Chains A and B, each alone.
Chain A
């Protein structure tokens, strides 16, 4: 495939992802060959686009429209709950991880491009809250403060992955 990712870099990123996942209560797929294939895809995308977008989805190379598919994508946790793996199979449930099962085929849940355009605000007016509540679109973490954190303390997603949930 693309030979621009060195084994060293691949090892390094793979280990980082394993550690990060463990720290936040997630599991990386224990199938090393499979997972390294995905990590390679993430690194290729990081080189190409400047961000690690999902290796199994088509990026348009424009960060704003790819934001929801920057790994970990907005769909990971729903897929983990429903199928036991994310769309790519990089993250898997405890059962799949501990029993070393193959990742299932997960149908695409990302809304169609036309639906993604209709930016529906999911914020509910609560009225009179002393602080707005921000929601991490990756893992659902909520925090009440004037601005979202630089990085989600739970899943490490960047600030721009937060939306206002209550104000």
Chain B
């Protein structure tokens, strides 16, 4: 991806990528959980990108979540959690 996500430092749990919207409370809750778990992760506020960047990121994102909905969390390029399913995220990251 040419667009660089924002990196948050923390405990290395592999690659954790969060596609989010800056206006979305569910995305905010997901970020809050990741911060609480103190894991390292990357995130992108897709709504703050330019239209061409947006299209590029959406294309990436829709490969793992065809509905293109937010938040979409991708753990180690294989586990995808859509929506602020906090218990599921916690479980995936603590196991």
Q: Quick check: B25 and A105 within 8 Å, CB to CB?
A: no
Q: Quick check: B21 and A58 within 8 Å, CB to CB?
A: yes
Q: Which of B27, B58, B68, B85 contacts A56 (CB 8 A)?
A: B27
Point out the residues of chain A lying under 8 angstroms from B22, CB to CB. 1-2, 44
Known: A58-B46, A105-B83, A107-B83. Is A112-B24 also a contact (CB below 8 A)?
no
Instruction: Judge whether A40 is part of the interface by a CB distance below 8 angstroms.
Output: yes
Prevailing SS type, chain B contact patch? loop
Point out the residues of chain A lying under 8 angstroms from B25, CB to CB. 34, 37-38, 41, 55-56, 88-89
Q: Quick check: A44 and B23 within 8 Å, CB to CB?
A: yes
Instruction: Judge whether B47 is part of the interface by a CB distance below 8 angstroms.
Output: yes
CA distance A1 to B69 in the complex (A): 20
Q: Which of B28, B84, B85 contacts A1 (CB 8 A)?
A: B28
Point out the residues of chain A lying under 8 angstroms from B68, CB to CB. 58, 112-113
User: Count the A-B residue pairs with Cβ separation under 8 angstroms: how many?
Assistant: 62
Could you tell me which residues of chain A, from 34 to 86, have a CB within 8 Å of some CB in chain B?
34, 37-38, 40-42, 44-45, 55-61
Taking the closest CB of chain A, its distance from the CB of B30, in whole angstroms, is: 11
Question: Closest residue to B67 on the A side, CB-wise?
Answer: A108
Q: How large is the interface on A (under 10, 10 to 19, 20 to 34, 35 or more residues)?
A: 20 to 34
Known: A108-B69, A112-B68. Is A59-B83 also a contact (CB below 8 A)?
no
Taking the closest CB of chain B, its distance from the CB of A122, in whole angstroms, is: 22
Q: Which of A2, A40, A56 contacts B26 (CB 8 A)?
A: A56
Q: Quick check: B83 and A57 within 8 Å, CB to CB?
A: no
Q: Quick check: B24 and A41 within 8 Å, CB to CB?
A: yes
Q: Quick check: A56 and B70 within 8 Å, CB to CB?
A: yes
Q: Quick check: B85 and A112 within 8 Å, CB to CB?
A: no
Could you tell me which residues of chain B, from 20 to 57, have a CB within 8 Å of some CB in chain A?
21-28, 46-47, 51, 54
Pairs A–B under 8 Å by Cβ, sample size 29: A1-B28, A2-B22, A38-B25, A41-B23, A41-B24, A41-B25, A42-B23, A44-B22, A44-B23, A55-B21, A55-B23, A55-B24, A56-B21, A56-B26, A56-B27, A56-B70, A57-B69, A57-B70, A58-B58, A58-B70, A59-B47, A61-B51, A89-B26, A105-B26, A105-B84, A105-B85, A106-B83, A107-B83, A112-B67
